[in-house]
Structure 1
């Protein structure tokens, strides 16, 4: 029950009869033959028939927005006919969200179910190109094997040309526009302009883009038909859904459950401690619910929205009573700030400001720091090149609403009395030449005896450094992400006073202990507190 990164393919639990995960009890991965034995052949449908099916089962996208699939399908078909061009189908299997593994499980263990739905859509639309976007090695390998088992390649002359695109494992990689940009040969970051993929997507062609789970659900619905598909779940949201449980559970897992199942039942089944502080639903772009609200909610898009949450990408993270909820939120907020694509001001400057303001609230800076959090969040809404600033602001603000007692203790008193255990999972930092894991983590550090407040570091890497009112740097309490390490090294090299350096995380912890010991000695009246130089590296 720590914040270690989730395994690429966590355990799978079924609540009720499995649909998407059918056959998982007999095979680690369903190859083409096993897939057909479990699910049978996919039927052939017309465009109108597939659209009516998607409408009849209420199929929605399984990312954050939950856009109706039938409307996407109809819009792409109409745009393709109006322009006289072939549309494109794109499967978004890019889970940059550290707390999500549902699409990774589908692509890694049931890739043919996802391909069935995508190829069915391509056939009815007359698409000749199918692209599958992934971020993890096992998903890429599994999809490539599945395409080979079907005889599908990217060679010209094929009825449908298929290819797999591997994106970096970053939060923004899951953005639809980032995937389309990468699939077109560009960088895996949002382009900064808002365009509808159904009108102008990959290569300028109308593009049907949805998440892996949505295409898998489409394949299940095509086999079952509307009447059988809607026998489970709620009338408004029939069928099953996939959830990723992590945080305060003994082991992370992916759960297939009927929509409308009580949240409390899901939490108890996965071994969550009944004495919870709250539950984060929707992942790090979702929102916190207090324990009573979470246990009383049902797992569906509408029910969670009524409770003040969001289903999002299906991540559910219970928080145990042993850790500081605001400290956990601040830790993730720093990571979200570092995950910025750095293309717009709200991301590059606003997210670090939001994370630092929340950290100051946790440190007991008072009502002014709380107002700074709210002001920073207001400045992010609706102003980013993608949804990252809005989602991050929603996540932070929900903590202020869900944990009011803890908030009052930090703002008005000496804190809640609990440390931050790091329960919420984040990616393992890596560094060149070091094995992946916590032992390779580095933090920016500063020698206060050398720093003269030039401020160059804040301009070079504002995600990790800001200048205080006195002009001296304040460093983010987070490890340096891999994509920011180059700029962090540049800031170290350009520091005129040679005060900035990169330290291993274990060195940073040792230095923190030494500083606390010196402060304790000074408070106890020791006239000669121990002094010494840092042991970190430049």
Structure 2
């Protein structure tokens, strides 16, 4: 399946989007003519370069790339085995198209960065995980052009879901398993793809690495802020991808795409937070500026909310979609997010002040309790909406409303699933499932043993004897009931 293709533009001379003024797909010959051949750098030299330019993950978390690279190198020294490099190009965020733009138009730049890292680490495998059909075709075409050079890259198509891009979900997916979060707190640098130390990073991160390797730290810093050098890619309003040096006034980036701050700007996507209109007018394109304004740069998504649409209704609409995008594996996702979304919908449609208080209680119920970051990110988005558009939510809860329609200004995929559909999908039988106990949450209530006699047994201390129990198909509905009814939300089902 393919999705929207973004409009492209650049402020000043482009680096990542170079050559697209002449052709819409930069083949291998044109790529080398533009950038020259990539250098070969040892791991420590590559890490020093990444540290000097403060290269961070551009997928949302902003983790320093140099630390990832050194962590994989150190794991390799301990294990004396092989390594892998994985490119996260799944981009399940509806308001973000920058990675799609890179892989659709300049895939060789991304491959350069991944293969540069693989060469430095001696990695035996490079894998690119994608979700769109057109993106997969573009990357495979680029890989085919490199076949004569003996560089092996595997391209894996994954489901188009919001949680597919979560690190453990992506690694499981490209490894042949379900593209769902594992819930395990194991670093990819220690044990990633196939159990080997894995360097996992975002598409733009590898493209930036390829540019920096050619320019060096000094040349890379000729554009952008001294403390945040270089250029970044922004997705504006879910339709435009802009390459700009850091430090650009944020209103100018919006103006280039034919829009303005409106009622506020959602920064960082649907796991991000809102900048009030005044804050957006004063902000610049940089992590530090957005952080000072109480927002996050995240994956570089900027979604302005037009004056003509209803903020409360837009929030409720997105919250429902996020609830439907859960993995359905843990209580906060399986129960908490659908409940939060429906409570928000009720509050927006005149449910009263009590309904708003129930939403706030629902936020507290899911925070820091999920098997992955999806519940926390969704809670952050809803909480930010409640804060920035407080008057609108109060008016809607009281039954007065704001008088504006819901225009669907915050982008969502065509035909999004409902939360009910997500629950139905989670209830379908799947082979090889296990019931997992999260010891950090379990409080020894013992209800699970009552619901699953003969499958789950309690030890002398009143806690389950095992943390992972195989679930026969005939017991699946009972296991689901135990997951839903666990008072501590300490149970989840996992496939594989």
TM-score (norm 1): 0.77
Specify the alignment match of 2:100 in structure 1: 104
Does structure 2 retain, via aligned residues, the 8 Å contact 1:354–1:373? yes
Distance verdict in 2 for CA 1:33–1:174, change over 3 Å? same
2:205 corresponds to 1:218: no
Which of 259, 263, 266 does residue 277 from structure 1 map onto?
263
2:287 corresponds to 1:301: yes
1:361 deviates by 1.7
1:225 deviates by 0.6
Matches within 5 A, 1:108-257: 108-151=104-147, 161-246=152-237, 252-257=239-244
1:360 deviates by 1.7
Distance 1:7 1:423 in 2: 17
Which of 254, 261, 280 does residue 267 from structure 1 map onto?
254
Distance verdict in 2 for CA 1:150–1:161, change over 3 Å? closer
Which of 58, 72, 77 does residue 76 from structure 1 map onto?
72
Specify the alignment match of 1:315 in structure 2: 301
Which of 384, 387, 401 does residue 370 from structure 2 map onto?
384
- SS of 2:304 mapped into structure 1: strand
2:392 corresponds to 1:396: no
- More off after superposition, 89-98 vs 362-371: 362-371
Does structure 2 retain, via aligned residues, the 8 Å contact 1:367–1:411? yes
Does structure 2 retain, via aligned residues, the 8 Å contact 1:6–1:98? no
Does structure 1 retain, via aligned residues, the 8 Å contact 2:324–2:417? no
Specify the alignment match of 1:92 in structure 2: 88
Distance verdict in 2 for CA 1:486–1:181, change over 3 Å? closer
Distance 2:126 2:399 in 1: 57
Specify the alignment match of 1:456 in structure 2: none
1:412 deviates by 3.9
Specify the alignment match of 2:5 in structure 1: 9
Larger radius of gyration: 1
- SS of 1:348 mapped into structure 2: helix
Does structure 2 retain, via aligned residues, the 8 Å contact 1:6–1:99? no
Distance 2:2 2:140 in 1: 23
Specify the alignment match of 1:433 in structure 2: none
Specify the alignment match of 2:311 in structure 1: 325
1:487 deviates by 5.9
Distance 1:342 1:20 in 2: 37
Does structure 1 retain, via aligned residues, the 8 Å contact 2:126–2:153? yes
Distance verdict in 2 for CA 1:236–1:285, change over 3 Å? same
Q: Which runs of 5+ in 1 are unaligned?
A: 430-440, 444-462, 465-479, 489-538
1:273 deviates by 4.4
Distance verdict in 2 for CA 1:235–1:273, change over 3 Å? closer
Specify the alignment match of 1:37 in structure 2: 33
Distance verdict in 2 for CA 1:6–1:402, change over 3 Å? farther
Does structure 1 retain, via aligned residues, the 8 Å contact 2:92–2:162? yes
Does structure 2 retain, via aligned residues, the 8 Å contact 1:367–1:412? yes
Distance 1:221 1:314 in 2: 19
Distance 1:311 1:13 in 2: 19
Distance 1:354 1:233 in 2: 41
Q: Over aligned residues, Cα RMSD in angstroms? A: 1.9
Distance verdict in 2 for CA 1:75–1:141, change over 3 Å? same
Distance 2:281 2:107 in 1: 33
- SS of 1:24 mapped into structure 2: coil
1:39 deviates by 1.0
1:97 deviates by 0.8
Specify the alignment match of 1:286 in structure 2: 272
1:343 deviates by 0.3
Distance 1:396 1:152 in 2: 50
Distance verdict in 2 for CA 1:86–1:485, change over 3 Å? closer
1:371 deviates by 1.0
Q: Residues 80-132 of structure 1: CA distance to partner in whole angstroms, max 9, x if unpaired?
A: 11110111000000111111111111011111100101000000101110000
Q: Which runs of 5+ in 2 are unaligned?
A: 429-496
TM-score (norm 2): 0.83
2:403 corresponds to 1:417: yes
1:407 deviates by 2.3
